[in-house]
Chain A
Amino acid sequence: MKRSMVFDVNGNKREVLVSPNQTLLDVLRNQLHLTGVKEGCGLGECGACTVLLDGDPVKSCLILAMEAEGKKILTIEGLAQGRDLHPLQKTFMEHHAFQCGFCTPAMILTAKALLDRNPEPSRREVTRLISGNLCRCTGYKDIIEAVMRAGDALRNKVNDDEHE
């Protein structure tokens, strides 16, 4: 039976009527109209539907919406602070780290989860952590570069804040 649930999405409480077998992806895209979350395969193989659940990257096509209740959900729509883009969004633009852009929202969120945990990752760590997100266009080279540079930007920001 459908049940009314409250989701914490991008800092907002959203009430949605959900069936027990509905995926989080379905609710985010089709009921909350957060179309920055993409479906590439529906089987958890491409990573295009990745969102952050309490900061952890999850493939939203593989988990039931009900499992997300009470957790903080972050989609690409909630990443920028108002008009201020997240450093990853900036470096992805600066380093041409997307072409068709379909995998980009998920790629950025996956990278955010990594940088939040470790703001100074090695190139190897970045490569390993984004290797669950498929990109058919870029050949990954510029994506890895953009993530590394976003790490620099985040560290400098932390340093700046400490100096202030």
Chain B
Amino acid sequence: MNMNNFHYIRKSPRRTDGELIVTGRARYTVDIDLPGMLYAKILKSPHAHARIRSINTGKAEELEGAKAVVTGRDIGNRRFSFIDTPAYPADQTPLAVDKVRFIGEGVAAVAAESEKAAEKALSLIEVDYEELPAVFDPEEAMKEGAPIIHEEITPNTTTAWEDFGIPRAKSRPYKAHHNISNRVFIEHGDIDKGFREADYVREDRFVIPSTAHAALEPHAAVADFQPTGKLDVWLSHMGFEHKRFWLAKLLGIPLSNVRIHKTYVGGAFGGKISLFAYEFLAAYLSMLTRRPVKTILTREEVFTTCPSARRMIVTLKTGVKKDGKITAQHVRIIDDVGAYRRSSPTALYLTHVFRNPIYDIPNIRHEGYGVYTNKIFTTAKRGHGLQQMIFAVESQLDMICDALELDRLEIRLKNLRKKGDVLPNGDTLRSYALPACLKTAAERIDWRRKTSHKKPNRGLGIGTASMFSGAHNFPFASAATVRLNHDGRVILYTGQTEFGIGVETVMAQIVAEVLRCPLKDIIVNAGDSEISPHDIGNWLSAGMFVSGEAVKRAAVDLKTQMLRYASEGLGIPDSDLEFENGWIISKSDDSRKCSFSDISRYGIQMAGGDPLIGKGFTKCVPEVYFWKGRYNKTASLTSGKGRFTEAYGLAAAMAEVEVDQETGKVRVIHLVVADDCGTPINIKSVEGQIVSQAVMGIGDVLFEEVRFEKGAVLNPNFLEYPIPTASDIPKIDSIIVDSYEPNGPFGAKEVGETSRAAAIAAVANAVCDAVGGRIFSLPFTTDRIKKALVAREKRKS
């Protein structure tokens, strides 16, 4: 394909819905206001671990304005989770039933005429707790005699996997031994042989704390249960399939009775995929009261009751030859999941499979344990598991270079995989521009000159990353429809959700590119579960690769239909017709043409009323399927077997920093991120995603951490949990390394999620380079840096 021949993609049109945003007219869930609406509030546990002896709601129920009061016992053991499989059944309930497992867990909920009345009602609820010994450290929690956080977990009647028809054993109760919530064990090659072949082996331990997503829109939900049995909901979310499934399942109503309406979403960053208890409670209270119910969390509630990113301890043992070729790597990860497992089985699997395409390591053993503790549970955040693993792997590579006196860029180039490589699970690297990413980034930051002529107090660092473009798992596929209108304009229906990615614009660009009609003639209807076909959602970086391809195919289907009518109507063979600027024109005689509107009229008048609707669909990994006992290559989260994805996004980052040797203060001077995202559909959007992730990565390295004391979040606000401000931003170069992904729409694939992990590793390595010593725990606070500086001076003397 001639890449320069594109008309509407590989360009940077502005957001088609931009005027809604800059005029304040974009409507977010917090802005939804329905007549007769009630307000819900949730009573939270003050204890990290306690049995609920009794709850007295009498006084709250009598309060004027309180319309419904519910407790965990009223709702019962309706279990939900991100993962709900026969082996790992859902372990969480919307409100605690018998005991609370973290400070902030909901124990009762109220719907009232005003927020104030709801708060007043909460204050009248009396809960009698029996405090239990709690455990906060995952390594302590694994020890014999540690407090047991979960008694045996009884699954729902069926697990989600059984509901989807995934052919595995029937669900069974889960008993957590040593508080282990889940485990992963992936192996390929011969690890012992790999270490025997190594000239140098080292083992290091890295600690990565939880960081907050800190989306600017606080979490919110509005639910309106209709007398007809229909449930209308507005959510701050990342794709309706997951939410709709869980709401229907837990409420016991048909899936098609739940409508998730389109809303603007004020940031998500992976944190808003799973169902939240407050979303269920808004719907449940609306069913009870037959009134619309709204709930908006305060910022403190977002920090203390909604999960932040995963906390991991990564122990890494690596063997290398003298020349830096890696022969073996043994990874052990403890994922401090908190009170509930949520996505940990996925995350532990992703710690391996996300990094798998980067370096060609012949012998790997990858073990991981999710461990329950009495803290708020954790979840996905922009590359789930990737940045924790990459921080460890890339930090250790630099230590290996120091020990063996190897060049830090060369060791990476030497160990990279190659385009066309087939990974141990069968995934093929059809596009792979990571070597080019590293070389381009090195040139831009002037790596060779700057590392050979090192300035005092300065340091340079490298990071790499890779990421899926969607996965094999639920909801497996995306579809889209496009409809030609009487006025010649085209309406696209897609389940893609807008939360900052400009998805309506890029999808419109794809349709415009196929139909060669002006972008303004594409109307996008996105993110409404009732009018959109099924959709994989905007997570696991699936939006462009999977849903974008479905949109493209829908447009191609419509184009084929239009071409047939144009040919019939004009009496010109279709081989002599082309689409251009909203017209279908004869190539040999450009005076013979018809408009899109003419085609619509032809369908109605001459073709029996044909509405001209194009349909497109695709599945992320077509090879994976299951239906009534027939199945193929379904991936195992526990053993890492089976197919994962069809295309990997890749990135390399390089950073230059300056560290004040007295105060430990870091100034990031220059950050370069080169991202292999395939064809960029919207160049400015792609660059925006790269910069966004890179800046988040700076916060991850330098100051972001959700801190705990005895299970309580110590810093649940932006004053004590700072995120990067405009003043923290260095010079940033985002470079698009445009490989062509043959299976993606116009060659596009994943973008952005790699940039955060790569930036974290690059900045961290640059700081350690400037400090002249290694820091093993994130974030690199000035205290930790000062300690490393003192240790360096001691080593010198």
Across the interface, do A43 and B27 meet the contact criterion of CB distance under 8 Å?
A: no
Among the listed stretches A65-73, A96-104, A151-159, which one makes contact with chain B, having 4 or more residues with CB under 8 Å of it? Answer: A96-104
Bound complex: CA A142 to CA B690 (Å): 12
Q: What is the interface of chain A mostly: helix, strand, loop, or mixed?
A: loop
Could you tell me which residues of chain A, from 87 to 127, have a CB within 8 Å of some CB in chain B? 88-89, 92-96, 98-105, 108, 126-127
Could you tell me which residues of chain B, from 1 to 23, have a CB within 8 Å of some CB in chain A? 12, 14-15, 18-23
Specify which chain B residues have a CB less than 8 angstroms from the CB of A79 in the assembled complex: 23
Bound complex: CA A35 to CA B410 (Å): 54
CB within 8 A of A108: which of B22, B216, B268, B684? B22
Across the interface, do B216 and A46 meet the contact criterion of CB distance under 8 Å?
A: yes
Across the interface, do A96 and B22 meet the contact criterion of CB distance under 8 Å?
A: no
CB within 8 A of A102: which of B267, B718, B725? B267
Specify which chain B residues have a CB less than 8 angstroms from the CB of A132 in the assembled complex: 725
CB within 8 A of B25: which of A36, A40, A100? A36
Q: Contact string, A44-70, partner B, CB cutoff 8 A, digits 1/0?
A: 011010000000000000000000000
- The residue in chain A whose Cβ has the minimal distance to the Cβ of B31 is A35
Contact of B326 with A by CB under 8 A: no
Determine how close the nearest CB of chain B comes to the CB of A95; give it in whole angstroms.
Answer: 8
Across the interface, do A139 and B727 meet the contact criterion of CB distance under 8 Å?
A: no
Contact of A130 with B by CB under 8 A: yes
Count of A-B contacts judged by CB separation below 8 Å: 165
Specify which chain A residues have a CB less than 8 angstroms from the CB of B15 in the assembled complex: 93, 96, 98
Interface centre among A34, A95, A96 (most CB of B within 10 A): A96
Bound complex: CA A36 to CA B718 (Å): 21
Size of the chain B interface, CB-CB below 8 angstroms: 53
Contact of B572 with A by CB under 8 A: no
Bound complex: CA A69 to CA B502 (Å): 39
Bound complex: CA A144 to CA B30 (Å): 27
Specify which chain A residues have a CB less than 8 angstroms from the CB of B213 in the assembled complex: 136
Across the interface, do B696 and A130 meet the contact criterion of CB distance under 8 Å?
A: no
Interface centre among B31, B216, B264, B501 (most CB of A within 10 A): B216
Contact flag A105-B28 (CB < 8 Å), given A93-B19, A99-B502: no
Q: What is the interface of chain B mostly: helix, strand, loop, or mixed?
A: loop
Contact flag A76-B725 (CB < 8 Å), given A96-B688, A136-B267, A139-B694: no
- The residue in chain A whose Cβ has the minimal distance to the Cβ of B755 is A139
Specify which chain A residues have a CB less than 8 angstroms from the CB of B22 in the assembled complex: 76, 85, 88-89, 92-93, 98, 104-105, 108
CB within 8 A of A134: which of B19, B269, B684, B723? B723
Determine how close the nearest CB of chain A comes to the CB of B239; give it in whole angstroms.
Answer: 15
Contact of B425 with A by CB under 8 A: no
- The residue in chain B whose Cβ has the minimal distance to the Cβ of A108 is B22
Bound complex: CA A112 to CA B594 (Å): 48
Specify which chain B residues have a CB less than 8 angstroms from the CB of A141 in the assembled complex: 691, 729, 732
Contact flag A43-B267 (CB < 8 Å), given A76-B23, A137-B692: no
Contact of B215 with A by CB under 8 A: yes
Bound complex: CA A85 to CA B727 (Å): 28
Bound complex: CA A1 to CA B730 (Å): 51
Determine how close the nearest CB of chain A comes to the CB of B256; give it in whole angstroms.
Answer: 29
Across the interface, do A105 and B24 meet the contact criterion of CB distance under 8 Å?
A: yes
Interface centre among A75, A79, A103, A135 (most CB of B within 10 A): A135
Interface centre among A77, A100, A127, A140 (most CB of B within 10 A): A100
Across the interface, do A41 and B18 meet the contact criterion of CB distance under 8 Å?
A: no
Contact of A128 with B by CB under 8 A: yes
Specify which chain A residues have a CB less than 8 angstroms from the CB of B30 in the assembled complex: 35, 38-39
Contact flag A136-B688 (CB < 8 Å), given A127-B726, A144-B726: no
CB within 8 A of B726: which of A36, A77, A99, A131? A131
CB within 8 A of B19: which of A75, A85, A100, A128? A85
Bound complex: CA A137 to CA B501 (Å): 9
Across the interface, do A36 and B216 meet the contact criterion of CB distance under 8 Å?
A: no
CB within 8 A of A42: which of B33, B267, B298? B298
Across the interface, do A96 and B12 meet the contact criterion of CB distance under 8 Å?
A: yes
Specify which chain A residues have a CB less than 8 angstroms from the CB of B527 in the assembled complex: none
- The residue in chain A whose Cβ has the minimal distance to the Cβ of B684 is A96
CB within 8 A of B14: which of A34, A75, A96, A99? A96
Contact of B94 with A by CB under 8 A: no
Across the interface, do B21 and A40 meet the contact criterion of CB distance under 8 Å?
A: no
Contact of A33 with B by CB under 8 A: yes
Bound complex: CA A33 to CA B732 (Å): 39
Extra A-B contacts (15), CB below 8 Å, given A48-B216, A96-B502: A34-B24, A36-B24, A38-B217, A43-B719, A79-B23, A80-B23, A96-B12, A96-B15, A100-B267, A101-B21, A136-B213, A136-B723, A137-B267, A137-B500, A143-B726
Q: Which 6 A-B pairs have the closest CB atoms?
A: A36-B24, A102-B266, A100-B500, A139-B695, A99-B500, A101-B21
- Please name 30 pairs of A and B residues whose Cβ atoms are closer than 8 Å in the assembled complex, sorted by A: A35-B24, A35-B31, A40-B299, A41-B218, A41-B717, A43-B717, A46-B216, A46-B299, A46-B718, A76-B22, A80-B23, A85-B19, A92-B21, A93-B18, A96-B685, A99-B688, A102-B216, A102-B217, A127-B727, A127-B729, A131-B726, A134-B214, A136-B215, A136-B723, A137-B688, A137-B692, A139-B688, A140-B729, A142-B684, A144-B726
A residues neighboring B (CB under 8 Å): 33-43, 45-46, 48, 75-77, 79-80, 85, 88-89, 92-96, 98-105, 108, 126-128, 130-144
